[in-house]
């Protein structure tokens, strides 16, 4: 039995990396050949063991069985079997395992599953024994409510009532394990009108109108009607504001009106402003409501690049100013090429904001455009020493080389040897090397979190040697160590990136920049949005691209396979490049935020300097992503060729939407 194909291929590639570093004796004091044998044995049986089958282990020879039992991940194998057979294993088996391996993650996971299994089979006293020993006071709602069920069964009513009402009084729907507890409270008449009203207000404050409606039905019709108004303000805010041009000037309606304006502003700031002007003078809104609403409209008018944005921001009283307001004042001045005004806007920022690379760069550019070249050159000269988006732009402006000299982290062989012999480090490494990356990352992070800084440096070096690039990069970054380019900008899967980029007719350095920014080269990582793998491809996108280029597609298996993911990712990146006429800035933004959004962000007419367009991307995440990818691309070009690729050469003018489409068609 072997691991799934994608994982197997990944493990093979990792094995190649590891062999490059493995001498006659490998990490942890074991011969390299013995470790390789242990990994191979583990991989050969793990999948079947996870399914609850131990026959593959029993089929091993006595020598192989002994070798496997000495492996650092033997506890993981045993725990996997116990978890799969939790319904049938004896309590003594679980207890023995937890007692032997109690400090390890597999034991903690097994204990959690074992506790839940008691509850699943209605053995609540058994569950309560484990809960009180290990989970009480951790505020895990699921476990707390199961414990309360056990308390109810045991007749400890007073203890239940105090804790259960606290769990009830939240503005969200609780986990299903709490339902029997709340039913108990209801039956004992402990949830009266006051408790329902309090929870209703919490739900409204959390804008959880589904829960609020459920609660309202248990209060009275007035609350039901109020919830209906909230839902209308949420679903059709423009219509709600039109209908409420006049009405009873009460606190709830004023709150609903400001919420409707907030919702409408996301869709259409101009209409939101128009309707806010109509209602703001007819109701006695508080000064805080007026301030927050005016700021919200002004910011979204600026983010959407609409006319009059600067005037709205300027009209805000100083009480409404925050860092975001001042940033968007500056970005709006930048968008309009109002250089003197931009200098004034930057001067209003807090020192911590103004001293950042972004505003130092634009202050220098605005100074040059305003005829103040001498101090600006000094600022640019300082900035060009930074290995970053603004550092490279500053070097381009001055016609200077980039600061691309690499300073390798210093190896302390004694500290490194001590670190790599730690059992917890060995476990993390082995989880990575057998393809259980996610588990390995969790264990690595748990170890590194508490290391002193000098040991963290050695940890970053170790991870880099193993080819565990995500942990090497993250560990070095946590220390502010940015000088080792080979560690921070590695070249894994180089043949795949070069071959796939060649097929897609894009630069492999661009693809590397995307992959590093998307996943830090984690082949198995999944985002909250559902994107998967090295280049973070959405399953639907992967399927469409695979169909277009006629390659096999098997969902997650394909997307977590590095070679397949790179092939699909580079192809999709090329599609975005073609869509935007070869404009790498727009294609990069579209890769992150989606082409439908980038289309909305294009200028209505004329052209825009790409640097200015980037600064005015409405989404903070996408704005920083584009800068990060472009800077990484320049570094990867240096790493792969030893030559400087000017960042400014990639910053083509951003054209109006219709013109971009004409260029793409040609």
Give the position of tokens 């069964």: 153
Active-site entry in 151, 177, 386, 518: 518
How many C-beta atoms lie closer than 10 Å to residue 175's C-beta?
15
By CB atoms closer than 10 A (0-12, 13-18, 19+), residue 540 is exposed
Tell me which residue of 212, 141, 206, 203 sits closest to 175, measured CA to CA: 141
Give the position of tokens 């972004």: 358
> What are the b/e assignments for 74-87, b being 16+ CB within 10 Å?
bbbbbbbbbbbebe
Give the position of tokens 């259980």: 436
Distance, CA of 53 to CA of 427 (rounded, Å): 23
Helix (H), strand (E) at residue 608 = strand 607-608
> What are the b/e assignments for 420-439, b being 16+ CB within 10 Å?
beeebbbbbbbbbbbbbbeb
Q: Could you tell me if 332 and 341 are in contact, meaning their C-beta atoms sit under 8 angstroms apart?
A: no
Distance, CA of 306 to CA of 373 (rounded, Å): 31
Q: Is 518 a catalytic residue?
A: yes
Token couple for 265: 């502003």
Q: Please, which residues bridge with residue 73 across strands?
A: none
The pairs formed by 383-387 with CB atoms below 8 angstroms and a separation of 24 or more are: 383/357, 386/357, 387/482, 387/631, 387/635
Q: Could you tell me if 509 and 633 are in contact, meaning their C-beta atoms sit under 8 angstroms apart?
A: yes
Distance, CA of 459 to CA of 472 (rounded, Å): 7
DSSP for residue 492: T
CA dihedral 177, 179, 180, 186 (to 10 degrees): 150
Tell me which residue of 589, 569, 586 sits closest to 660, measured CA to CA: 586
Tell me which residue of 79, 21, 47 sits closest to 434, measured CA to CA: 47
Phi, psi for 396 (deg, rounded to 5): -60, -45
Tell me which residue of 255, 257, 303 sits closest to 276, measured CA to CA: 257
Q: Could you tell me if 68 and 41 are in contact, meaning their C-beta atoms sit under 8 angstroms apart?
A: yes
Check the CA dihedral 379-383-384-390 and report its sign: negative
Task: Give catalytic residues, as residue numbers.
Answer: 518
């Amino acid at each position: 039995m072997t691991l799934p194909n994608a994982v197997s291929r990944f493990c093979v590639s990792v094995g190649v990396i590891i062999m490059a570093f493995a001498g006659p004796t490998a990490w942890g004091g074991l011969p390299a050949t013995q470790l390789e044998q242990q990994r191979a044995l583990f991989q050969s049986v793990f999948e079947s063991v996870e399914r609850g089958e131990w026959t593959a282990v029993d089929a091993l020879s006595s020598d192989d069985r002994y070798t496997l039992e000495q492996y650092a991940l033997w506890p993981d194998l045993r725990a996997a079997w116990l978890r799969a057979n939790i319904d049938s294993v004896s309590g003594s088996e679980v207890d023995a395992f937890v007692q032997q391996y109690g400090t390890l993650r597999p034991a903690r996971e097994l204990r959690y599953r074992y506790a839940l299994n008691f509850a699943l089979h209605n053995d609540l006293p058994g569950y309560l024994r484990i809960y009180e020993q290990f989970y009480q006071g951790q505020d895990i709602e699921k476990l707390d409510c199961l414990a309360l069920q056990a308390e109810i069964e045991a007749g400890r009513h007073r203890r239940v009532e105090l804790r259960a009402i606290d769990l009830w009084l939240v503005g969200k729907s609780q986990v299903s394990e709490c339902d029997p507890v709340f039913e108990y409270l209801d039956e004992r008449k402990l949830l009266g009108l006051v408790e329902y009203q309090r929870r209703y207000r919490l739900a409204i404050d959390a804008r959880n109108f589904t829960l609020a409606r459920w609660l309202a039905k248990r209060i009275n019709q007035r609350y039901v009607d109020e919830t209906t108004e909230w839902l209308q303000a949420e679903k059709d805010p423009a219509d709600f504001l039109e209908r409420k041009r006049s009405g009873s000037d009460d606190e709830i309606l004023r709150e609903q009106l400001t919420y409707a304006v907030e919702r409408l502003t996301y869709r259409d700031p101009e209409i939101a402003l128009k309707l806010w002007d109509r209602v703001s003078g007819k109701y006695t809104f508080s000064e805080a409501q007026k301030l927050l609403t005016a700021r919200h409209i002004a910011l979204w008018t600026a983010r959407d690049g609409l006319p009059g944005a600067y005037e709205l921001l300027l009209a805000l009283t100083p009480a409404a100013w925050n860092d975001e307001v001042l940033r968007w004042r500056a970005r709006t001045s930048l968008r309009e090429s109002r250089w003197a005004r931009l200098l004034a806007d930057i001067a209003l920022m807090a020192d911590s904001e103004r001293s950042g690379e972004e505003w130092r760069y634009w202050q220098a550019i605005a100074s040059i455009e305003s005829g103040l070249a001498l101090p600006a050159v000094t600022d640019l000269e300082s900035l060009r020493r930074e290995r970053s988006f603004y550092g490279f732009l500053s070097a381009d402006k001055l016609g200077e080389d980039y600061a691309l000299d690499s300073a390798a982290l210093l190896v302390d062989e004694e500290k490194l040897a001590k670190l790599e012999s730690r059992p917890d480090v060995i476990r993390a490494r082995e989880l990575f090397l057998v393809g259980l990356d996610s588990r390995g990352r969790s264990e690595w992070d748990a170890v590194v979190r508490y290391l002193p800084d000098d040991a963290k440096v050695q940890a970053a070096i170790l991870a880099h040697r193993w080819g565990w690039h995500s942990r090497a990069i993250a560990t070095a970054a946590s220390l502010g160590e940015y000088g080792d380019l080979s560690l921070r900008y590695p070249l894994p899967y180089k043949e795949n990136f070069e071959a796939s980029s060649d097929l897609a007719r894009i630069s492999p350095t661009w693809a590397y920049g995307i992959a590093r920014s998307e996943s830090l080269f984690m082949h198995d990582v999944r985002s909250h949005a559902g994107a998967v793998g090295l280049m973070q491809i959405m399953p639907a996108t992967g399927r469409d691209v695979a169909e277009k280029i006629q390659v096999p597609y098997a969902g997650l298996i394909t997307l977590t396979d590095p070679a397949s993911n790179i092939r699909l990712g580079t192809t999709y990146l090329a599609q975005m490049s073609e869509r935007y006429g070869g404009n790498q800035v727009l294609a990069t933004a579209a890769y992150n935020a989606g082409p439908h959004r980038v289309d909305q962000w294009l200028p209505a007419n004329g052209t825009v300097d790409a640097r200015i367009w980037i600064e005015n991307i409405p989404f903070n995440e996408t704005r920083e992503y584009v800068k990060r990818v472009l800077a990484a691309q320049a570094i990867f070009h240096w790493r792969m060729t030893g030559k400087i690729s000017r960042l400014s050469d990639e910053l083509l003018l951003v054209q109006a939407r219709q013109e971009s489409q004409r260029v793409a068609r040609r």
